[in-house]
Amino acid sequence: MIFIVAKFLVLPAHADNWPEITRRFTDATRGEPGNLWFEWSRSVDDPNEYTLVEAFRDDAGAAHVQSDHFKRAQEWLPQHLQETPRVINMTVDQDDWSRLGEMAVPG
């Protein structure tokens, strides 16, 4: 799978509304045939920072960046940001989350 983690530093005036600002993009991406997950989290240390964890089947990444909703997001989202998002993008030889054995829950 293609595994991506991106950090978005949002302008303070837009930080509380970021989930709504990105809603159409998020919903459209989650509806893509090759999307495995697309999940936003807000930092507990910096209320202006959001982290996006997303994954696609290997063959679906190119379709994602060519989609109309991705192109609209490229035009729409930067006006709400303090800086260009930072990203880690890699191919991982699995298709779901693994269990963290070091913190196994009994039962």
Q: Residue 56 sits in a domain of what CATH number?
A: 3.30.70.100
Confidence of residue 58 (pLDDT cuts 50, 70, 90): confident
Q: Is residue 99 part of a domain?
A: no
Portion of the chain with pLDDT greater than 70, in percent: 100
Contact of 83 with 9, CB cutoff 8 Å: yes
Q: Is residue 30 part of a domain?
A: yes
Q: Is residue 106 part of a domain?
A: no
Contact of 7 with 29, CB cutoff 8 Å: no
Q: Is residue 104 part of a domain?
A: no
* Residues 13-37: tens digit of each pLDDT: 999 999 999 999 999 999 999 999 9
pLDDT confidence of residue 22: 97
Global pTM reads 0.93
pLDDT confidence of residue 72: 96
Q: Which domain holds residue 64?
A: 2-93
Give me the chain's average pLDDT, please. 95
How does DSSP classify residue 71? H
Q: Is residue 98 part of a domain?
A: no
How does DSSP classify residue 105? P
